[in-house]
């Protein structure tokens, strides 16, 4: 018999912490390896955690809905077999020198000198790729200095739009705030309901976005009369053929994707003094359910036609509404397009989805009288497009040009446009 | 240029300053007359400058210390010789309470421009009373400079700078280097900065910091290691107090591997302070623990030759320590 610990697993490349939303086992349960033991929530995604061992559940180490770092022990299981066959042998040669012990210890868990740590951080070097030339294979300062960064394998945590270290501080602030300030707003008659894991994840993300990103805003007006006509003409057939309704939103996504090709600065991230230009165009789309807001991602959105976008958005929305979104559906977004028009909004200032550089709010399409060049009036379908931008990366000039391109792309649709 | 020993360079420096400035006087036990000091540093000075500027004192070190303070405040530039650094101790009150506090307690109205010369160091079969390194006893007294040259060039330039300095300067001379080092030095007037450490060899694998005899060991060891592809940066501390932090920290940061060498006892030495400064200022540049190579924490240099060798930081010990650090 021996005791084994199960740790909070890595739930995704940018995920540093998660909480248990539901225990699926109880103390005393007999479980087999790979049995689900709990549901964990991170960044609004629910994942089942499988057991690494067969045995009896001894103790739960974390409370439900409490954020813990990835790697934190969460459950103790008593297994039937010996955990590791390495039992200390009392006959070990006592004369074995202390030095040798130290050396083997070094091999098991490498220690890095302050100089090595600093240089590795500055040069963004993953030390697991560096070969040590020092005593017992220790990585020396010179090893890191001479290390050719080009040969380093792609290491996602460092280069993806995910400056983890900066986030950690913000996240912990966000985490602490509600708990400590809660009582200040309470009065005897009020009802206090602890926020659930997803709401807390949303809160954290929002606080991070507004504290870290200096927002600036711009709104333009676009004439989408042609799109309204096109949709009116096509929607019945589309519904019949595809089984899903043809919405306006995919037209806007299409126009935005095309505009991003021309304005790569909008499809970027701020990363600790660097601007990362994302080659992939991954559009996050906001999907509201009764309780929550989810932002799944249309990966490589530039590969889709209007019809393809319609289907992909529909698929993601259904996953969100049925609680089946997974981490992979939520990661990698490079720009968010938000369909605020469905709520009747005509003007809004979105909070950027960190670490993206902008969010575009597509407002309600309204019929309006607008002047014509010959001095008369005409009825047109007008829409406001409200852009929030990370002002560290994007200035008004680039934002204006980008929105102008989006407008042009929208105007380019006609009743002859094909949806496929 | 003229070829001379470390000892001759000090004498030459004193002679030049006595010629340049008639307020410079020198005294101590056996310093005057034809003897010219127990090692002969002041030989010929009494003959050249007269018995009033180069004279003997009684065997009372407290008086040598005090006389220098009095002469210094009266406008002289006094050079007091302690026959051995081991003999300074009776004069400590004069050095610390009087000389080094003069500026401070008179709000800068008075200074004590003094040079206290003292031969120090082991390796001369001197035993207990003639081998000690006493710099740590007087170290860390604001107002009292401690310097020591480790080359012939510095010996002449540094004694001249010390004589011209308005602060009391404790000038340590390594007695083993007196006749060991021989070098061509400029005959013209020059001084070396009194408060600066000196990078005497460039390298980027390890940094060795020291002064005196052990610094010369380090330079030889560095040449030997160079043939194995290990390049050592060697720094002469030169100004023991106040320490030239800037140069020391820079040299430590350069390689991240620091070996501090002294022939003094390991604990509580000048090197302990240098280690603290580097730890405080250069932590994130360190690639190895700061290493001290020093004499054992045993009272003093023994007289028996075999034991003296055991106590001394020899060239072999320096070489081994440098190699070990380079391989770390």
CB count in 10 Å sphere of residue B212: 29
Taking residue A268's Cβ as centre, other Cβ atoms within 10 Å add up to: 23
**Is residue A325 predicted with pLDDT exceeding 50?**
yes
Q: Give which of A265, A262, A155, A284 is closest to A209, Cα–Cα.
A: A284
Share the mean pLDDT of chain A.
Answer: 82
Residues of B in contact with A140 (CB under 8 A): 287, 328
Which residue is closest to B286 within chain A, CA to CA?
A: A115
Please calculate the CA angle B135-B141-B144 and round it to the nearest 5 degrees.
80
Nearest to B285 among A115, A134, A142 (CB): A115
By C-alpha distance, the chain A residue nearest B326 is A134
Whether domain A2-79 has CATH 3.40.50.12780: no
- Count of CA atoms in the C-beta half-sphere (13 A) of B80: 32
pLDDT of residue B124: 87
CA-closest candidate to residue B238, choices B161, B124, B123, B326:
B161
**Domain A216-412's class?**
alpha beta
Least confident of A99-103, A168-172, A241-245, B294-298: A168-172
Q: A234-245 as b/e, with b when 16 or more CB fall inside 10 Å?
A: beeebeeeeebe
Query: Does A176 score more than 80 pLDDT?
Result: no
The whole-angstrom distance between B7's CA and the closest CA on chain A is: 42
Strand order in the sheet with B206-210: B198-201, B232-236, B206-210, B258-265, B291-295
Q: If DSSP codes are grouped into helix, strand and coil, which group holds residue A211?
A: helix
Quick one: pLDDT at residue A162? 39
* Inter-chain touch B256–A113, beta carbons under 8 Å: yes
pLDDT surpassing 90 at residue A168: no
Judge whether A10 is closer than 8 Å to chain B, CB to CB.
no
Nearest to A115 among B205, B284, B327 (CB): B284
Is the four-CA dihedral B122, B125, B128, B129 of positive or negative sign?
negative
Residue A29 three-state SS: coil
Chosen for mutation from B204, B230, B231, B287 (greatest number of chain A CBs closer than 10 Å) is B287
Separation between Cα atoms, residue A246 and residue A237, nearest integer Å: 9
Contacts of B255 in chain A (CB under 8 A): 141
Pairing of strands B239-241, B145-147: antiparallel
Q: Is B74 helix (H, G, I), strand (E, B) or coil?
A: coil
Answer whether A412 touches B (CB < 8 Å). no
Q: Which of A63, A232, A395, A415 is catalytic?
A: A395
**Residues A5/A76, Cβ–Cβ less than 8 Å:** yes
> What is the rounded distance in angstroms from the CA atom of residue B225 to the CA atom of residue B240?
27
Least CB–CB distance from A115: residue in B205, B256, B327 = B256
Instruction: Provide ipTM, 2 decimals.
Output: 0.78
Whole-angstrom CA distances from B155 to A241, A397, B190, B193, B284 are 99, 68, 11, 12, 36
Beta strands in B88-157 (DSSP E): 114-120, 145-147
Neighbours of B298 (CB within 10 A): 11
Q: H/E element holding B156?
A: helix B152-164
DSSP tag of B96: I
Per-residue pLDDT for A27 more than 80? yes
Question: Strand runs (DSSP E) across A64-142, as ranges?
Answer: 67-69, 73-79
- Put simply, whether A115 touches B (Cβ < 8 Å) is yes
A219 touches chain B (CB under 8 A): no
Chain B residue nearest residue A144, CA to CA: B287
Q: Is the pLDDT of residue A86 over 60?
A: no
Distance CA A381, CA A369 (A): 9
Tokens for A273? 């003094």
- Residue B52 confidence (pLDDT): 96
CA distance A149 to chain B (A): 20
In the prediction, which pLDDT does B86 show? Answer: 94
Question: Which of B205, B286, B327 is the closest to A115 by Cβ?
Answer: B286
Report for A3-17, A47-61, B204-218: range of highest mean pLDDT: B204-218
The highest-confidence range among A84-98, A169-183, B262-276, by mean pLDDT, is B262-276
Task: Give the integer Cα–Cα distance in Å for B181 and A374.
Answer: 103
pLDDT of residue A326: 86
Integer Cα distance of B231 and B222 in angstroms: 7
A141 vs B256, B283, B327: nearest CB: B256
C-alpha span between B87 and B137 (Å, rounded): 12
Q: Kindly state the percentage of chain A with pLDDT values over 70.
A: 83
Q: How many CB atoms lie within 10 A of CB A218?
A: 16
Nearest CA-CA distance, residue A17 and chain B, Å = 29
| Interface test mutation site (partner A, options B230, B252, B256, max chain A beta carbons within 10 A) | B256
CA B185, distance to chain mean position in Å, is: 19
Per-residue confidence band for A177, with pLDDT thresholds at 50, 70 and 90: very low
Residue A328, pLDDT score: 86
Which pLDDT score is estimated for B138? 95
Tokens standing for B47?
A: 């003959």
Q: Collect the ranges in chain B with pLDDT lower than 50.
A: none
**Residue A244 forms contact with B (CB below 8 Å):** no
Cα B285 to the chain's mean position, in Å?
29
Cβ neighbors of B283 (< 8 A, separation 6 or more) are A114
Q: Which residues of A touch B285 (CB under 8 A)?
A: 114-115, 118
Name the residue in chain A with its Cα closest to that of B205.
A142
Strands, E, within A52-207: which ranges?
Answer: 55-60, 67-69, 73-79
User: Do the Cβ atoms of B286 and A114 come within 8 Å?
Assistant: yes
Using DSSP bridges, classify how beta strands B169-174 and B114-120 pair: parallel, antiparallel or unpaired: parallel
How many other CB atoms are there within 10 angstroms of residue B131's CB atom? 26
Task: Kindly report, residue by residue over A356-390, the tens digit of the pLDDT.
Answer: 999 999 999 999 998 988 888 999 999 999 999 99
Query: B5 and B181 in contact (C-beta within 8 Å)?
Result: yes
pLDDT for the residue numbered B193: 97
Under 8 Å between Cβ of B197 and B236: yes
Contact B222, B322 (CB under 8 A): yes
Is the pLDDT at A95 greater than 80? The verdict is no
Rounded to whole angstroms, the Cα distance separating B99 from B91 reads 11
User: What pLDDT does B205 receive?
Assistant: 96
Query: What's the pLDDT at A150?
Result: 63
For the record, the structure tokens of A60 come out as 């739960």
| Cβ pair B255:A141 closer than 8 A | yes
Residue B256: list chain A partners with CB under 8 A. Answer: 113, 115, 141
Q: Which residues of A touch B286 (CB under 8 A)?
A: 113-115
Give exposure, A246-263, as e/b (b: 16+ Cβ within 10 Å): bbbbbbbbbbbbbbbeeb
Contact A140 B287 (CB under 8 A): yes
The residue among A294, A227, A264 whose CA lies nearest residue A393 is A264
Please count the residue pairs, one from chain A and one from chain B, whose beta carbons lie less than 8 angstroms apart. Answer: 30
A134: nearest CA partner in chain B: B328
At A152 the pLDDT is 57
With bands split at pLDDT 50, 70 and 90, how would you rate the model's confidence at A321? Answer: confident
Q: How far apart are CA B144 and CA B87, in angstroms?
A: 18
Exposure string for A305-343, b = 16+ CB within 10 A, e = fewer: ebbbbbebbbebbebbeeeebebebbbbbbbbbbbbbee
> Is A122 within 8 Å of chain B by CB?
no
Domains and CATH numbers, chain B: 2-185 (3.40.50.970), 198-327 (3.40.50.920)
Rounded to the nearest 5°, which phi and psi values hold at A413? -65, 145
The candidate with the shortest Cα–Cα distance to A208, out of A154, A244, A259, A166, is A166
Question: Please, which contacts does A81-86 make with residues 24 or more away whose CB atoms are closer than 8 Å?
Answer: A81/A2, A82/A2, A83/A2, A83/A3, A83/A4
For chain B, what is the total number of helices (H) and then of strands (E)?
12, 14
pLDDT confidence tier of residue A400, bands split at 50, 70 and 90: very high
**B40: alpha, beta or left? (left if phi > 0; alpha if psi -120 to 50):** left
How far is the C-alpha of A298 from the C-alpha of A339, rounded, in Å? 14
Peptide linkage before B242 cis (omega within 30 of 0): yes
Cα–Cα distance measured from residue B248 to residue B197, given in angstroms and rounded to the nearest whole number: 7
Res A287: pLDDT = 85
pLDDT of residue A13: 64
Smallest CA-to-CA distance from B180 within B146, B215, B210 is with B215
In this complex, is the C-beta atom of A276 within 8 Å of any C-beta atom belonging to chain B? Answer: no
Partner-chain contact A142 B205, CB within 8 Å? yes
- From the list A281, A289, A287, the residue with the least C-alpha distance to A315 is A287
- Give the C-alpha separation, A205 to A350, whole Å: 13
Q: Where exactly are the structural domains of chain A?
A: 2-79, 216-412
Active site annotation includes B130: yes
Peptide bond connecting A103 to the previous residue in cis, omega within 30 degrees of 0? no
Identify the residue with better confidence: A196 or A308. A308
| Whole-number Cα distances in Å, A259 to A265, A312, A416 | 11, 20, 21
């Amino acid at each position: 018999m021996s005791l084994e610990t199960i740790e909070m697993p890595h739930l995704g490349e940018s995920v540093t912490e998660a909480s248990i939303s539901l225990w699926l086992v109880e103390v005393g349960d007999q479980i087999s390896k790979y049995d689900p033991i709990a549901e964990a929530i991170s960044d609004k995604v629910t994942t089942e955690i499988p057991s690494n061992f067969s045995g009896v559940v001894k103790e739960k180490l974390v409370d439900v809905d409490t954020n813990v770092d990835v790697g934190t022990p969460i459950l103790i299981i008593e297994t039937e077999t010996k955990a590791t066959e390495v039992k200390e042998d009392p006959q070990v040669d006592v004369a074995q020198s202390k030095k040798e012990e130290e050396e083997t210890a070094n091999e098991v868990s490498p220690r890095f000198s302050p100089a090595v740590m600093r240089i590795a951080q500055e040069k963004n070097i993953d030390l697991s790729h560096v070969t040590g030339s020092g005593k017992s294979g220790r990585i020396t300062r010179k090893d890191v200095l001479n290390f050719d960064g080009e040969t380093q394998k792609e290491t996602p945590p460092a280069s993806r739009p995910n400056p983890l270290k900066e986030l950690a501080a913000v996240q912990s602030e966000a985490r602490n705030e509600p708990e400590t300030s809660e009582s200040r707003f309470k009065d005897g008659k009020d009802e206090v309901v602890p926020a659930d894991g997803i709401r807390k994840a949303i809160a954290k993300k929002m606080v991070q976005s507004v504290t870290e990103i200096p927002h600036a805003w711009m709104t333009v007006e676009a004439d989408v009369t042609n799109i309204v006509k096109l949709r009116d003409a096509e929607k019945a057939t589309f519904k019949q053929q595809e089984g899903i309704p043809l919405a306006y939103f995919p037209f806007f996504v299409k126009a935005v994707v095309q505009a991003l090709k021309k304005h790569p600065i909008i499809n970027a991230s701020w990363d600790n003094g660097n601007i990362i230009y994302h080659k992939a165009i991954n559009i996050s789309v906001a999907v509201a359910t009764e309780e929550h807001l989810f932002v799944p991602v249309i990966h490589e959105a530039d590969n889709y036609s209007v019809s393809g976008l319609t289907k992909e958005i529909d698929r993601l929305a259904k996953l969100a509404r049925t609680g089946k979104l997974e981490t992979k559906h939520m990661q990698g977004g490079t720009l968010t397009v938000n369909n605020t028009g469905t709520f009747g909004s005509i003007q809004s200032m979105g909070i950027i989805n960190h670490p993206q550089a902008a969010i575009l709010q597509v407002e309600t399409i309204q019929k309006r009288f607008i002047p014509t060049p010959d001095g008369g009036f005409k009825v047109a379908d007008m829409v406001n497009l409200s852009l929030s931008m990370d002002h560290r990366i994007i200035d008004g000039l680039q934002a204006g040009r980008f929105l102008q391109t989006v407008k042009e792309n929208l105007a380019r649709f006609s009743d002859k446009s094909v949806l496929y | 240029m003229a070829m001379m020993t470390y000892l001759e360079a000090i004498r030459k420096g004193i002679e030049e300053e006595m010629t340049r400035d008639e307020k410079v006087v020198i005294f101590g036990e056996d310093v005057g007359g034809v003897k010219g000091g127990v090692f002969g540093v002041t030989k010929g000075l009494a003959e050249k400058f007269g018995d009033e500027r180069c004279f003997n004192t009684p065997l009372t070190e407290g008086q040598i210390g005090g006389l220098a303070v009095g002469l210094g405040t009266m406008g002289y530039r006094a050079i007091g010789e302690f026959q051995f650094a081991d003999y300074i101790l009776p004069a400590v009150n004069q050095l610390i309470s009087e000389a080094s506090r003069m500026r401070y307690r008179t709000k800068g109205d008075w200074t004590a421009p003094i040079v206290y010369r003292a031969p120090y160091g082991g390796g001369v079969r001197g035993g207990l009373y003639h081998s000690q390194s006493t710099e740590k006893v007087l170290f860390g007294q604001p107002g009292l400079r401690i310097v020591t040259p480790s080359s012939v060039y510095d010996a002449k330039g540094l004694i001249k700078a010390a004589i011209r300095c308005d602060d009391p300067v404790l000038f340590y001379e390594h007695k083993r280097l007196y006749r060991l080092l021989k070098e061509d030095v400029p005959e013209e007037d020059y001084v070396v900065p009194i408060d600066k450490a000196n990078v005497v060899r460039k390298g980027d694998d390890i940094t060795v910091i020291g002064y005196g005899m052990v610094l010369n060991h380090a330079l030889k060891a560095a040449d030997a290691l160079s043939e194995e592809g290990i390049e050592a940066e060697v720094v002469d501390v030169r100004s023991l107090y106040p320490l030239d932090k800037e140069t020391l920290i820079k040299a430590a940061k350069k390689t991240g591997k620091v070996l501090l060498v002294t022939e003094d006892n390991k604990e509580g030495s000048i090197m302990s302070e240098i280690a603290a400064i580097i730890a405080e200022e250069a932590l994130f540049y360190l690639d190895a623990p700061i290493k001290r190579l020093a004499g054992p924490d045993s009272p003093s240099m023994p007289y028996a030759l075999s034991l003296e060798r055991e106590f001394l930081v020899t060239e072999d010990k320096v070489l081994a320590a440098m190699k070990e650090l380079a391989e770390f």
